[in-house]
Amino acid sequence: MLLNKPHPLEVKVLTRRYEYPQKEAIGVDEYVAKEGYEALKKALDMTPEAIIDEVKKSSLRGRGGAGFPTGLKWSFVDRKSPKPKYIVVNADEGEPGTCKDRIILEHEGHRLIEGCLIAGRAIGSNRGWIYIRGEYRTQIEAMDRAIAEAYARGYLGDNVMGSGWAFHLSTHTGAGSYECGEESALLESLEGKRGNPRLKPPFPATSGAFQCPTIVNNVETYSAVPDIILKGGDWYAALGTPKNGGTRLVCLSGHLVTPGVYEVPLGIPLMTIINEIGGGVWKGRKLKAVIPGGSSSPVLRPEECDIPADYDSLAKAGSMLGSGATMVLDETTDMVKLMARIMKFYAHESCGWCIPCREGTAWLAKILARLDEGAGTKKDIDMVDELAQGMMGRTFCALGDAAAMPAMSFVKKFRGEFEAKIANAKVYMPAPQTQPLVVL
Ligand SMILES: Cc1cc2nc3c(=O)[nH]c(=O)nc-3n(C[C@H](O)[C@H](O)[C@H](O)COP(=O)(O)O)c2cc1C
């Protein structure tokens, strides 16, 4: 996958080494020639506390979805624990609309490796895994090549850059499950078990992989670390807004003139991303709605989009920056059909471990499909909201919330469209039976 043609409003940190078009992966020679592994060298002379302090100063927040402060997460690991400590990279990239981590995995694996090494040094770890979704064959192969190069040059191995410190890293392939992107389910899967989420607390920093202290971060999060160490946490923080440091990759999709993956500073106006970088709504049509941070994030109406694109501003607007997948919907979008399709995904991907999620997503999918077919009632619209509210905060992991939040927001903000589906319904003809009726 290629990164888009650079836009003047982009601020390039993660993608600063990329040429356009960047067809090949950046190999170890090119990486080293362009300041690669300089941050690691610097980190090897720093104390773990100093590394964590720098990351805290940078206001780097998790790029996987929840936006948790990265330095704070690292500080939760008890470095004095006699247990091994582990580094885990979440490269599952399952959130619909998200296609940013694959750019890094495919084109600049050494950046990610360097980020993992620095994180490993900060928490006193000697072992890491990159858990990559199974569908990412090209990216898995690219990452394996980068890891082999790093071993050959002594950046990975028993004696990292002659420091006497050992750090080993390998890829681990998932098998196509959205749930395995949830960090505790990911750890179960990494351990060779079915990817069901774990009860939290304890959080992975206390008890993660193989019940040992573990840091789980997104690909993009680790990849931001080398520049933070090289140029300083304050420098990185200043690129964004207070408590929302740095830049992030946004995945623009939907009804735009120039969709694609771009790197923007945190706090850039959301409408600038849409109108300038994304080229505005295509075909001269009007904007109907924006899903700002992956399909789990509550939908925004156009009048709600005049806000900075950072974690806090989007939370204040009742939505989320999430995984940075911004989906733009034009005036022709059938919001009921879209919501029904989104819920079909969640119902399919629910692991079934807990009842509110397993039953909730399945029923929501059925009711939304019924509404979309024009066979629903006004009571069904209320039921979508009621069911979704009943799921919020009552599931083992956040997949339940991820399904419930968009459902509630679609009904709240586009109720008229749901009602119109009922009012405009022709005489309802049930869909043809796909399974034979059982005759007793
Ligand atoms: C159902 C579900 C799926 C998730 N999928 C991903 C994913 O594909 N990639 C990711 O980085 N985080 C994903 N997350 C978030 C992770 O649980 C976790 O918060 C993240 O890896 C932490 O890294 P960060 O702090 O760097 O964001 C998912 C969460 C849930 C509830």
Q: Return d(Cα 118, Cα 41) in angstroms, integer.
A: 9
Q: What fold, for 335-423?
A: de novo design (two linked rop proteins) (1.20.1440)
Cα 57 to ligand 1 centroid, rounded to whole Å:
23
| pLDDT, tens digit, 9 for 90 and up, residues 130-154 | 999 999 999 999 999 999 999 999 9
Q: Return d(Cα 69, Cα 56) in angstroms, integer.
A: 7
Counted residue by residue, the chain has a size of 440
Q: Return the ligand 1 atom nearest residue 61 CA.
A: 25
Residue 432 scores a pLDDT above 90: no
Residue 20 has a pLDDT of: 86
Residue 425 has a pLDDT of: 74
Instruction: Answer yes or no: are the C-beta atoms of 387 and 368 closer than 8 Å.
Output: no
| pLDDT, tens digit, 9 for 90 and up, residues 338-395 | 999 999 999 999 999 999 999 999 999 999 999 999 999 999 999 999 999 999 999 9
| pLDDT, tens digit, 9 for 90 and up, residues 251-279 | 999 999 999 999 999 999 999 999 999 99
Q: Return d(Cα 44, Cα 42) in angstroms, integer.
A: 5
Residue 429 scores a pLDDT above 80: no
For 6-11, what is the mean pLDDT? 95
Residue 21 has a pLDDT of: 84
Q: Return d(Cα 145, Cα 329) in angstroms, integer.
A: 39
| pLDDT, tens digit, 9 for 90 and up, residues 79-135 | 999 999 999 999 999 999 999 999 999 999 999 999 999 999 999 999 999 999 999
Q: Which of 19-28, 103-112, 165-174 has the lowest mean pLDDT?
A: 19-28
Q: Return d(Cα 150, Cα 110) in angstroms, integer.
A: 8
**CATH code of the domain occupying 249-330:** 3.10.20.600
pTM: 0.95
Cα 87 to ligand 1 centroid, rounded to whole Å:
15
Which of 87, 139, 215, 218 is the best mutation target for the ligand 1 pocket, counting ligand atoms within 8 Å of the beta carbon and taking the most?
A: 218
User: Does domain 28-239 correspond to CATH entry 3.40.50.11540?
Assistant: yes
Instruction: Answer yes or no: are the C-beta atoms of 98 and 251 closer than 8 Å.
Output: yes
End-to-end distance of the chain based on CA atoms, in angstroms?
Answer: 54
**Nearest by Cα to 295 from 257, 334, 340, 258:** 340
Q: Where are the domains of the chain?
A: 28-239, 249-330, 335-423
285: which residues sit within 8 A by CB, 6+ positions away?
Answer: 255, 330, 331, 332
The burial class, CB within 10 Å (0-12 / 13-18 / 19+), for 28 is buried
Cα 90 to ligand 1 centroid, rounded to whole Å:
7
**H-assigned helices in 10-87:** 28-33, 38-44, 48-57, 70-75
Percent of the chain with pLDDT over 70: 96
Residue 336 scores a pLDDT above 50: yes
Residue showing tokens 């499950």: 177
Q: Return d(Cα 364, Cα 344) in angstroms, integer.
A: 9
**H-assigned helices in 124-204:** 137-152, 183-190
Angle (CA) 259 226 229, round 5°: 130
**Nearest by Cα to 98 from 221, 278, 270, 253:** 253
Residue 428 scores a pLDDT above 60: no
Bridge partners of 329?
289
Cα 64 to ligand 1 centroid, rounded to whole Å:
5
Q: Which residues line ligand 1 (CB under 6 A)?
A: 62-66, 68, 90, 92-95, 178-179, 181-183, 216-218, 221, 397-399, 402
Residue 440 has a pLDDT of: 47
Residue 436 has a pLDDT of: 55
Band (pLDDT 50/70/90 cuts) for residue 163 is very high
Cα 149 to ligand 1 centroid, rounded to whole Å:
28
Residue 1 scores a pLDDT above 70: no
Residue 434 has a pLDDT of: 61
For 215-229, what is the mean pLDDT? 98
